[in-house]
Amino acid sequence: MTRPCSENTPMHRVYVWELPIRLTHWLIFVATIVLAATGYYIGHPFISVSGPARDHFVMGYARSIHMYAAIVFAMAVFVRLYWLFAGNQYARLTELVPLSGRRFRSLFHAILFYAFLRREPDEYPGHNAMAGSSYAMIFSVYVVMIATGLALYAVGTAPGSPFHIFNNEAPWLYGLQMARLIHHIGMWIIFIFVVLHLHFILLSSLIDRTGALDSMFSGYKFMPNKEGTARD
Amino acid sequence: MNAPGLAQRLERSGLSRRDFLSFCASMAAVLGLPDTAGQAIAAAVENEAKPILIWLEFQDCAGNSESLLRAGHPTVADLILDEISLSYHEMLMAAAGSQAEQVLSETVRDNAGKYIVLVEGSIPAGADGAYCTIGGKSALQIARDICGKAAATIAVGTCAAFGGIPAARPNPTGAMSVGDAVPGVANLINMSACPANAENITALIIYYMTMKRWPPLDQYRRPLFAYGKSIHDSCERRAHFDAGQYVEEWGDDAHRHGHCLYKMGCKGPATSQNCPIVKWNEGTNWPIGCGHPCIGCAEPNFWDTMTPFYQRLPNVAGFDVGNWVDPVGLGLTGLVTAAVAMHGIGEVVRHRAGEKSSDNSGSENE
Ligand code: SF4
């Protein structure tokens, strides 16, 4: 069997990504770009302005935008995590954490395929187990980013604010400076993930013609027909 | 009756009732209470039974005692502290040796469950407590005996509150905070900072005398009236922070104009205390006010996590990560991008090869 790349290979449509998955994906995408840009400025304020302070609000805007983007990000991650339990078969926790024998085989299949040690890609409409594991990891990083972000935010809230309670995170984060350091490291992990994610999505879309990139808009993927596997 | 005593003493020291009342009003201000609370405070200080205080000093530099002696209103505060009867304070008391220890044990015996202990300094638990002994007893033993029978324990300064500098890595003496050394101690209140601000300690005791209870505390058992807000949120340079005006170098133009010290490693955003409001040395000034970034001395593990003082991010256990986390992150991202580009080329080659070998139909490939 060849790779499903030829124009003549018969394909069929599979509905893979439900609306909440697509929506949260793009919200996280936009929020991450905004958060990274403003966050980098907050860590390293490279713009310096002169004149009276009342004429400027550079850091003020950066922090405000960072916080609004953080709300969008946190809500989207929250819904995505809920969909690990409420979503269809392609969205579930079992797709991310390879615990079954089938998913384990899928993991090795994908690794061997991308290491040029196997010819055919894993023909499964959802994530292959390598992608799934990377999402499990990146979702954990998201949770850590939200937690450290809330700890850093809470110090500026008054007692009585609903966010004041997150001050209790500081003791077990070993203080706010550690929260700040973890927040920086988390951003770079996300950056590296983005590079890898883009790479594999483009490979899958442009070379294997699975429609992986389009599927995040439409929800549908295209899979080569196999005997007796015509779905939908 | 204590009231005539206090009035006479004030008079003898050349202090007017007006001085006393303005002291009470300033205490109300530190506590964040309205003006009228000053009268309640004055009444309490004049009429209420005074708590008995014991000051224990362990592994420390005596900086908190020094700070207290230079309290913003030394005369009035001193008089009141005298009234309160500071029964035992090694540095201040006239008695010494076994005589002093006798005073201590008598005070503890006669007032068990009623006195207040102020502890200064960390408690070294290493080598069976041999690093700090007084009258043949280890600091650990003394703390457990005396704090265990107290109505309340006030840990004064970061060493007593969190272990402070003696407990910083590698902590050779096994130093710990009072809270860790005496688990379950009643009414523990941490008055951190290096040293603790005397205004806050006096205000805490005055609060207790007036309200007959202890103030609300934060997650580190510090009173919210003094530690409820970060330095950053009440800093006088905050306008420059929000504007984007930062000191880049010592003595540069921005520094001379009093711009924000964030890029010089200011730890105000990670530190909670009322320094910008109450200030130090009779409200003269405070670190950021005179152009030095906050070093975060009021926070737990400050020597380990607030250092390097002139850098934004901390180092971890010997790695110089703080300075490097962003350049290393950028480098790694670049490396991964390069690796992925190579892999992409590999994939394209495989794809072309696969197409050629699998079908020779001559159809155009894309
Ligand atoms: S000097 Fe420090 S505390 Fe003050 S605004 Fe700047 S960063 Fe915040």
- B166 with B287, same domain: the answer is no
The answer to whether position A69 is within a domain reads yes
- B107 with B251, same domain: the answer is no
The answer to whether position A124 is within a domain reads yes
Identity at B237, one-letter amino acid code: R
Condensed to tens digits (0 to 9), the pLDDT of residues A141-166 reads: 999 999 999 999 999 998 889 999 99
Q: How much of chain A is in helix, strand and coil states, percent to nearest 5?
A: 65, 5, 30
CB contact under 8 A, A188 and B233: no
- B29 with B105, same domain: the answer is yes
Condensed to tens digits (0 to 9), the pLDDT of residues A175-191 reads: 999 999 999 999 999 99
CATH number (domain holding residue A88):
1.20.950.20
Q: What's the rounded Cα separation, in Å, for the pair B70 and B226?
A: 19
B85 has pLDDT over 70: no
Answer yes or no: are the C-beta atoms of B218 and B272 closer than 8 Å: yes
The answer to whether position B135 is within a domain reads yes
- How confident is the prediction for chain B on average, in pLDDT? 87
- Judged by a CB distance cut-off of 8 A, whether residue B343 touches chain A is yes
Query: Average pLDDT for residues B166-173, to the nearest whole number?
Result: 93
Q: Which of B254, B313, B346 sits opposite A181 (nearest CB)?
A: B313
C-beta B267 within 6 A of ligand 1: no
The CB-side HSE value for A137 (13 A sphere, CA atoms) comes to 15
Q: Which residue of B has its CA nearest to A185?
A: B325
B259 has pLDDT over 60: yes
The answer to whether position B365 is within a domain reads no
The answer to whether position B343 is within a domain reads no
* pLDDT for B1: 41
- B218 with B243, same domain: the answer is no
User: Which has more pLDDT, A217 or B78?
Assistant: A217
Range in A37-46, A204-213, B18-27, B330-339 with the lowest mean pLDDT: A204-213
DSSP labels for B281-300?
TTTTB-TGGGT-----TTST
CA B244 vs. chain centroid, Å, equals 28
Contacts of A70 (CB under 8 A, 6+ apart): A31, A35, A146, A149, A153
* pLDDT for B75: 56
Domain limits at A163?
11-224
Domain end call among B261, B282, B305: B305
Given the cut 0.85, state whether the ipTM is greater than it. yes
In B, residues 234-253, which contact A (CB 8 Å cutoff)? Answer: 239-246, 248
Domain count, chain A: 1
- B235 with B212, same domain: the answer is no
Answer yes or no: are the C-beta atoms of B305 and B297 closer than 8 Å: no
Q: What's the rounded Cα separation, in Å, for the pair B232 and B271?
A: 8
- B214 with B80, same domain: the answer is yes
User: Which has more pLDDT, B291 or B73?
Assistant: B291
- B39 with B131, same domain: the answer is yes
Confidence of residue B291 (pLDDT cuts 50, 70, 90): very high
Condensed to tens digits (0 to 9), the pLDDT of residues B30-56 reads: 898 888 888 888 888 888 777 888 889
B29 has pLDDT over 80: yes
- Judged by a CB distance cut-off of 8 A, whether residue B320 touches chain A is no
- B220 with B235, same domain: the answer is no
B360 has pLDDT over 60: no
- B199 with B132, same domain: the answer is yes
Query: Average pLDDT for residues A7-26, to the nearest whole number?
Result: 85
* Residues of A with Cβ-Cβ distance to B306 under 8 angstroms: 177
Query: Average pLDDT for residues A189-216, to the nearest whole number?
Result: 87
* CA neighbor of B221 nearest in space, from A22, A167, A106, A102: A167
B8: tokens are 């006479």
Q: What's the rounded Cα separation, in Å, for the pair B312 and A44?
A: 9
Q: Report in angstroms the alpha-carbon separations of B65 from A204, A228, B147, B221, B354.
A: 70, 85, 19, 21, 81
Distance to chain B for A214, nearest Cα, Å: 18
CB contact under 8 A, A45 and B354: no
* pLDDT for B364: 41
The answer to whether position B356 is within a domain reads no
Phi, psi of B24 (to 5 degrees): -60, -40
Domain count, chain B: 2
Beta bridge partners of A220: A15
- Judged by a CB distance cut-off of 8 A, whether residue B217 touches chain A is no
The answer to whether position B322 is within a domain reads no
B62 has pLDDT over 70: yes
The answer to whether position B71 is within a domain reads yes
B354: tokens are 């696969």
Condensed to tens digits (0 to 9), the pLDDT of residues A81-97 reads: 999 999 888 888 888 88
Q: At what angle do helices A129-154 and A176-202 cross, to 10 degrees?
A: 150
The answer to whether position A56 is within a domain reads yes
User: Which has more pLDDT, B23 or B132?
Assistant: B132
Q: Which of A50, A119, A174 sits opposite B305 (nearest CB)?
A: A174
Answer yes or no: are the C-beta atoms of B64 and B178 closer than 8 Å: no
Q: What's the rounded Cα separation, in Å, for the pair B87 and B108?
A: 10
CATH number (domain holding residue B258):
4.10.480.10
Q: Please state the pTM of the whole predicted model.
A: 0.88
CB contact under 8 A, A60 and B242: yes
Domain limits at B275?
231-305
The answer to whether position A163 is within a domain reads yes
B3 has pLDDT over 50: no
- B19 with B161, same domain: the answer is yes
CB contact under 8 A, A116 and B358: no
The answer to whether position B346 is within a domain reads no
Query: Average pLDDT for residues A13-36, to the nearest whole number?
Result: 94
Contacts of A5 (CB under 8 A, 6+ apart): A207, A208, A209, B351, B354, B355
Q: What's the rounded Cα separation, in Å, for the pair A186 and A182?
A: 6
The answer to whether position B15 is within a domain reads yes
- B297 with B163, same domain: the answer is no
Q: What's the rounded Cα separation, in Å, for the pair B66 and B61?
A: 9
A211: tokens are 């429609």
Identity at A121, one-letter amino acid code: P
- B211 with B281, same domain: the answer is no
Identity at A91, one-letter amino acid code: A
